[in-house]
Amino acid sequence: MAQMLASVSALLISVSMLILGHGIQSTLLPLAASSADFSDLQIGAVSSAYFIGLVLGCLGAPHVIMRAGHIRAYAAVVSLMSAAAILHPIAVDPVAWFLIRIISGFCLAGFYMIVESWLNESATNENRGAVMSTYIVILFASMMLGQISIAAMDITSFMPFAIASVSVSLAVIPVALTTANQPAPITLVRFRPIKLYRNSPAALVGAMLIGIGNGALWSLTPLYGSQIGLTTNQSAFYAAAIIAGGVLSQWPIGRLSDKIDRRVVLMILGATTAAVALAIAWLAPQDFASATALAVLIGICSQPAYAIAVSHAFDYAATEDFVETSSGLLLAFGLGSVAGPIGASLLMGQTGPSGLYLLVAIVNLIMAAFILTRLFARGAIDQEEKLDFEYAATAQVGTVLSPEPLDIDASNVIAPEEFPAYEDDAYSSETDIVTEEIISSEEQTSGSEDEEPTPGNDTPKEG
């Protein structure tokens, strides 16, 4: 295992550097925008812009990667993200920051795709879970470290923006100097919401509602902290406390969902998140200790929900549909996250800081109520048909990407005609060989013309 991690150490070091810079920005920007007299709505719009970019990146970044290749695309998105970070103090304007955050979101989506596909291909079936779990731990640890590092900086100065930009810039060095071959071209899949909804209504609707609530929490908790009277230092720790709560609860709640209906777990998470959010809105704690304790508690309740929703969808999906399912739910989560900060900022403008948690309570109550209706509409899947919870495959930081060459005849795959960045690479000839084998196999098969080959033997489960 140590040897395996050593082989991907350059990638993991790059992840820690870039996400450290991203964590600094995620806490810094709402506070800096408030000190620059941006309105609550403008701060919400800037926060939503990041998720707009993330959604656009999920759709557009694969084409950039196929055109330029993993290494050059990586260098491009990291460099652009670094430039975007340093532009904030140069152009202190809501419209400018809105556009800059779209760029940052797009770059981060490309970064996730490149890193995760590279890690996925470098790992084996035996150690893939451990490698991806290590990646997730490094990612969240770097995010929290970036958030709390704001406590040592003056948010009204140029310094924190410069540090964020430098941290992101340094992330390009380990990958740019690597001698490893770039991975095979990534898999493109269609977003088919109707199919996803038929497969698992609770997962699709849940992912979008979770995106609304968690997107608002991730983006606006630093602003909430400053508005209830916490210092800048305390607001940074307050924002990190929510992530810390999620890290503590992800695994035990995931394992619990292996033993009972995951929809019941998701419904309980929605109800408890709503209860804690209403308590925060009602109590409006102004001392740091009680506010942070409640932040950890709402993180424990809210942060595991997305992984449970994806795990539930996987229980009903065929193995060959996992990439499409994961990508589709991530996109639904991203679309919800676009609406979350704007909706929360509107409520905060009307009701004060508590508006953030009122929105979180409302969307989680809606999710719990919807899932309750699904419990009556469809029975639970048989226990032996459930897959074991695997957080590395269900985290909302990126997507599950297959390292295998494209199956050009799969109905959910968008197979481009060429991969310019891979024409002189071994993967180009490998893809041609696989394609020739598929065609040869079809010619020798007497089955119907519209029967599609599948990469596995699993079939969708009824339920």
Q: Calculate what percentage of the chain has a pLDDT beyond 90.
A: 49
Buried b (16+ CB within 10 A) or exposed e, 174-205: bbeebeeebbbbbbbbebbeebbeebbbbbbb
Q: Do 374 and 206 touch, CB atoms closer than 8 A?
A: no
How confident is the model over 70-92, as pLDDT tens digits? Answer: 888 889 999 999 999 999 999 99
More confident: 34 or 178: 34
The predicted pLDDT at position 180 comes to 64
How confident is the model over 283-295, as pLDDT tens digits? Answer: 888 889 999 999 9
Q: Rounded to an integer, what distance in angstroms lies between the CA atom of residue 106 and that of residue 116? A: 16
Half-sphere CA count of 153, side-chain side, radius 13 A? 24
**Nearest CA among 181, 78, 114 for reference residue 422:** 181
Region 227-238 average pLDDT: 92
Q: Rounded to an integer, what distance in angstroms lies between the CA atom of residue 269 and that of residue 265? A: 6
The predicted pLDDT at position 410 comes to 60
Q: What are the backbone angles phi and psi of residue 91, rounded to the nearest 5°?
A: -120, 85
Q: Say whether pLDDT at 363 is over 70.
A: yes
Distances (CA, A) of 119 to 8, 14, 91, 353: 7, 12, 36, 41
**Nearest CA among 293, 267, 233 for reference residue 376:** 267
Q: Say whether pLDDT at 321 is over 90.
A: no
Dihedral through CA 309, CA 311, CA 312, CA 318, nearest 10?
130
Packed helices 288-302 and 201-227: angle between N→C axes, nearest 10 degrees: 170
The predicted pLDDT at position 411 comes to 58
Q: Do 26 and 161 touch, CB atoms closer than 8 A?
A: no
Region 450-454 average pLDDT: 41
Q: Do 306 and 169 touch, CB atoms closer than 8 A?
A: no
| 62-66 LR contacts (CB < 8 Å, sep 24+) | 62/113, 62/186, 62/188, 63/416, 64/110, 65/110, 65/113, 65/114, 65/185, 65/186, 65/421, 66/185, 66/186, 66/416, 66/419, 66/420, 66/421, 66/422
Q: Say whether pLDDT at 190 is over 80.
A: no
Range with the poorest average pLDDT among 253-262, 273-282, 318-327 = 318-327
Tokens standing for 214?
Answer: 């968690």
With cut-offs at 50, 70 and 90, classify the pLDDT of residue 316: confident
Q: Do 316 and 381 touch, CB atoms closer than 8 A?
A: yes
Average model confidence (pLDDT) across the chain: 82
Instruction: Please state whether 378 falls in left (phi above 0), alpha (psi between -120 and 50) or beta.
Output: beta
More confident: 173 or 128: 173
Range with the poorest average pLDDT among 74-88, 170-184, 309-323 = 170-184
**Nearest CA among 261, 348, 26, 32 for reference residue 167:** 26
With cut-offs at 50, 70 and 90, classify the pLDDT of residue 420: low
**Nearest CA among 28, 9, 16 for reference residue 142:** 16
For the entire predicted model, the pTM comes to 0.82
Domain 13-174+181-393 has CATH 1.20.1250.20: yes
With cut-offs at 50, 70 and 90, classify the pLDDT of residue 396: low
Tokens standing for 124?
Answer: 């084996």
Domain ranges of the chain: 13-174+181-393
With cut-offs at 50, 70 and 90, classify the pLDDT of residue 394: low
Q: Rounded to an integer, what distance in angstroms lies between the CA atom of residue 337 and that of residue 213? A: 7
Q: Rounded to an integer, what distance in angstroms lies between the CA atom of residue 218 and that of residue 295? A: 11
- Beta bridge partners of residue 189, listed in sequence order: 413
- Strongest mean pLDDT among 33-42, 107-116, 311-320: 33-42
Q: What is the DSSP string of 279-323?
A: HHHHH---SHHHHHHHHHHHHHHHTTHHHHHHHHHHHHS-GGGHH
